[in-house]
């Protein structure tokens, strides 16, 4: 018995030493702030990306994800990475369209309304986005779409006239502008705080994917989801340029390989999460339906105004990206 015990202790010690030997002494740790729930597919995808980097660098670079805005809130993440407070992070770039209109390219109403079109638009925009992010001390790694955007209300809505005066939660410049043009009152709220904003009456309606409505269990307050397919915004994953330049070639190569895998896996997850979450809204008791003709026509008009405004703000650089997309 004693012998067995001794043998077990010995085996455990050898195992522990082997484990220690396999971990290089100078393992580097990167904290990765995320804005959305741990169970959301963006966060799960980022966790897999982190795992992939760990394996690809044989443990020499450990990326630790921090979902739900726990390390930095959504609206703080970009600045945190730019300034090196975090070496890597994920952010909805369209929320920063006030810095550069091109960041809002994925939120132009009715320009790209399917996963296929959204991927093409992203491809068309990537070189320009890389350049702009580079000028902000950021390295673009990959991006992943949200499902098509639809409208959430706590009553039946058949036209834009029905929306007048409603307190509308926005998540970027485009959603705030849409609210204004529809006669609603925009209030910017991060997804992590959405349930609370609805529960306290700070917001009564919003535009988003089925995914965010599902994650935030909005059936507890709201009753109707109208499928509008207005656009498919993206979460972009970027690194601080100094942190990136500080990595050796092998680590950078591992990140690049994992980023490519994560982009593909993220897209597939987004597609799968679309129907799953719309069904989840139904199961929660919400009426999920296509927007009616009048509502659609009214939104198209608002969309035209917003597209014109965007083109004016984004100038020749923006037009070039849109033209490239349209020619794909
Ligand atoms: N969910 C995010 C952005 C787009 C989406 O589908 C949100 O509502 O904050």
- What is the distance in A from the centroid of ligand 1 to the CA of 147? 9
The secondary structure of residue 84, as a DSSP letter, is T
Q: How far apart are CA 143 and CA 155, in angstroms?
A: 34
Looking at the CA of residue 207, tell me the nearest atom of ligand 1. Answer: 8
- What is the distance in A from the centroid of ligand 1 to the CA of 248? 35
- Closest-CA residue to 111 (of 148, 161, 66): 148
Buried b (16+ CB within 10 A) or exposed e, 93-104: bbbbbeebbbbb
- Closest-CA residue to 169 (of 120, 207, 142, 226): 207
Looking at the CA of residue 171, tell me the nearest atom of ligand 1. Answer: 9
Question: Where are the domain boundaries for CATH 3.40.190.170 in the chain?
Answer: 2-146+233-275, 150-230+286-326
pLDDT at 22: 52
The residue nearest atom 4 of ligand 1, judged by CA position, is 208
Q: Is 227 helix (H, G, I), strand (E, B) or coil?
A: strand
The residue nearest atom 6 of ligand 1, judged by CA position, is 209
Q: What is the mean pLDDT of residues 110-123?
A: 98
Contact 207, 229 (CB under 8 A): no
Q: Which residues have CB under 8 Å from 305's CB, separation 6+?
A: 181
> Does the pLDDT at position 5 exceed 50?
no
Q: Quick one: 2-146+233-275 is in which CATH superfamily?
A: Bacterial extracellular solute-binding protein, family 7 (3.40.190.170)
Q: Which conformational region is residue 250 in: left (phi greater than 0), alpha (psi within -120 to 50 degrees), or beta? A: alpha
Residue 292: alpha-carbon gap to chain centroid: 28
The residue nearest atom 7 of ligand 1, judged by CA position, is 191
The residue nearest atom 3 of ligand 1, judged by CA position, is 208
The secondary structure of residue 279, as a DSSP letter, is H
Inter-helix orientation angle 249-283/41-56, to 10°? 160
pLDDT at 224: 98
Q: Rounded to two decimals, what is the model's pTM?
A: 0.92
> Does the pLDDT at position 9 exceed 70?
no
pLDDT in tens, 147-199: 999 999 999 999 999 999 999 999 999 999 999 999 999 999 999 999 999 99
Domain 150-230+286-326 has CATH 3.40.190.170: yes
The residue nearest atom 8 of ligand 1, judged by CA position, is 208
pLDDT at 26: 64
Residue whose entry in the numeric block shows the structure tokens 């706590």: 154
pLDDT at 119: 98
> Does the pLDDT at position 2 exceed 90?
no
Please list the residues that pair with 237 across neighbouring strands.
90, 142
Residues with CB under 6 A from ligand 1: 92, 146, 171, 191, 208-209, 211-212, 233
pLDDT in tens, 233-249: 999 999 999 999 999 99
* Percent of the chain scoring above 90 in pLDDT: 92
- What is the distance in A from the centroid of ligand 1 to the CA of 154? 18
Q: What is the mean pLDDT of residues 208-237?
A: 98
> Does the pLDDT at position 216 exceed 50?
yes
């Amino acid at each position: 018995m004693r012998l067995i015990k001794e043998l077990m202790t010995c085996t455990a010690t050898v195992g522990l030493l082997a484990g220690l030997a396999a971990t290089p002494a100078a393992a580097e740790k990167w904290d990765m702030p995320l804005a959305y729930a741990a169970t959301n597919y963006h966060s799960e995808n980022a966790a897999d990306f982190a795992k992939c980097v760990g394996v690809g660098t044989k443990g020499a670079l450990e990326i630790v994800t921090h979902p739900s805005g726990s390390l930095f809130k959504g609206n703080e993440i970009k600045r945190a990475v730019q300034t090196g407070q975090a070496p890597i992070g994920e952010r909805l770039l369209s929320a920063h369209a006030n810095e550069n209109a091109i960041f809002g390219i994925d939120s132009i109403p009715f320009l790209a309304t399917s996963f296929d079109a959204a991927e093409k638009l992203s491809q068309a925009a990537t070189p320009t986005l890389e350049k702009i992010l580079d000028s902000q001390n950021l390295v673009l790694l990959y991006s992943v779409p949200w499902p098509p955007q639809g409208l959430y209300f706590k009553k039946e809505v058949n036209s834009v006239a029905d929306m007048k005066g409603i307190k509308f939660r926005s998540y970027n410049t485009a959603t705030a502008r849409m609210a204004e043009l529809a006669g609603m009152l925009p209030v910017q709220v991060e997804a992590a705080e959405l349930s609370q904003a609805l529960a306290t009456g700070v917001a009564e309606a919003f535009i988003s994917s089925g995914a965010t409505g599902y994650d935030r269990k909005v059936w507890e307050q709201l009753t109707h989801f109208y499928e509008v397919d207005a656009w498919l915004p993206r979460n972009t994953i970027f690194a601080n340029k100094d942190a990136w330049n500080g990595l050796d070639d092998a680590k950078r190569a591992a990140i690049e390989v994992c980023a490519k895998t994560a982009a593909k896996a993220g897209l597939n997850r987004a597609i799968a999460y679309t129907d799953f979450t719309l069904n989840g809204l139904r199961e929660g008791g919400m009426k999920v339906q296509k927007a009616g003709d009048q509502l659609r026509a009214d939104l198209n008009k608002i969309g035209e105004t917003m597209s014109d405004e965007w083109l004016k703000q984004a100038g020749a650089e923006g037009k070039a990206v849109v033209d490239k997309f349209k020619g794909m």
